[in-house]
Structure 1
Amino acid sequence: MNLALRHAVALLHHQAVPLSAEELIAILQSRWGVSYHLQFHRRAGRLYFQVMWGYLEQQSFPLDAAEYQLHLGQLAEQLNGLGVADQVRQWLLNNRDKPRLGKALSFPLPDQGRLSEFLL
């Protein structure tokens, strides 16, 4: 099922649409034309979702395409599990900034009581 149809079906059923690695890649490609590295970052007791400046299409990027896809799949599962997939999706789609060398884009994940599981 394509992404637009999946979103339409989920809206009809009032469900949150889970993120997938494929959707994350599609968003990154459509927004910035490259597949940026994504990660979680913990700072001062908060958890952030970050878009880093390195990207898959760089020669020096440490992951190959399969490893990158697996990494994004794991991130998507974690975001879905936290219940923040839609907030992250909207932030990625509407953020006006662009990652630059040494400057990641950071989205503070809303604490819904489950973030403490990630903060060791």
Structure 2
Amino acid sequence: MLDLRPSSAAEPLGVEEVIGCLRQRWRATYDLQLVVRRGRLYLHVMWAYLEQQSFPMDENSYRDHLAEVLDVVNRLGLAGEVRNWLLTTRDKPRLGKALSLQLQVEGPEAESLLKEFLV
């Protein structure tokens, strides 16, 4: 079980923690994507997962990709928000329908990260 005491809410999210959470919640290691739409940043839990034969990444590539997504989340200071959402959302990714969390991004760091995604 993940530790959700207030002191851990601000701790950076790690690859192992997120993989454990995904497997515990949905028994599958779903793909996470960051998407920018109309100047807003969203975290999507996609319907494709590592355990599928047709999944386009091997485990090492998946872990690298997840580390990149989590780096952005952590740099924006949103680890606690994402952690809480992953643990409490009542929805489940379904074929063709990703789960979506709008990330509240503010300040110069956020603007520069958004620009990176728009390039």
The TM-score with structure 1 as length reference comes to 0.86
- Structure 1 runs (4+) greater than 3 angstroms displaced: none
Partner of 1:60: 54
How far did 1:91 drift?
0.5
Partner of 2:92: 98
SS of residue matched to 2:20: helix
Contact 1:47–1:115 under 8 Å retained in 2: no
Partner of 2:79: 85
Contact 1:40–1:48 under 8 Å retained in 2: yes
| Match of residue 74, structure 1, among 68, 71, 80 | 68
Q: Which AA in structure 2 matches 1:58?
A: Q
The unaligned stretches of length 5 or more in structure 1 are none
Matched, 1:117 2:108: no
How far apart in 2 are the matches of 1:86 and 1:112?
A: 16
Contact 1:49–1:109 under 8 Å retained in 2: yes
The TM-score with structure 2 as length reference comes to 0.87
How far apart in 2 are the matches of 1:62 and 1:24?
A: 19
The unaligned stretches of length 5 or more in structure 2 are none
How far apart in 1 are the matches of 2:57 and 2:105?
A: 30
Q: What count of residue pairs does the alignment treat as equivalent? A: 113
- Aligned residues: CA RMSD: 1.8
Q: Which AA in structure 2 matches 1:43?
A: R
Q: Which AA in structure 1 matches 2:34?
A: F
SS of residue matched to 1:86: helix
